Amino acid sequence: MGIIVNPFSGRDVRRVAARASTSDHHEKQQQVTRLVLGALSQGVEKIYLAHEPFRINEKAVENLPERDQIEILRFTLTHSARDTTTM
């Protein structure tokens, strides 16, 4: 299973103006941890996480005992929609 985190999502001015909830990096990190643990508990054998500049994915899994089932993918980011089809 692959996970790509957008560190800029959930924080734009439209959300603030609409009084919608926002999402900081720590919250995203916790969400990734829950996604990874949930996927592994359901039989997913390998998790691929995209490296990004804020290291949200790396921090989310750095202390998990299942670290051998997780791989951080490093590739050049364009910060555009093309990043979702790089792999």
Q: What is the pLDDT of residues 60-83, one digit of tens each?
A: 999 999 999 999 999 887 777 777
What is the pLDDT, as a whole number, of residue 22?
62
Residue 41: C-alpha distances to residues 49, 66, 77, 84 (Å): 17, 11, 30, 25
| 4-41 tens-digit pLDDT | 887 777 666 665 666 666 678 898 999 999 999 999 99
What is the pLDDT, as a whole number, of residue 56?
94
Question: Would you say 69 and 47 are in contact if contact means Cβ atoms under 8 Å apart?
Answer: yes
Instruction: For residues 32-56, give the mean pLDDT.
Output: 95
Token pair, residue 83, equals 């990043």
In the three-class reduction of DSSP (H, G, I as helix; E, B as strand; rest coil), residue 1 is classed as: coil
If one counts the domains in the chain, the total is 1
- pTM value? 0.77
Domain extent for 35: 2-85
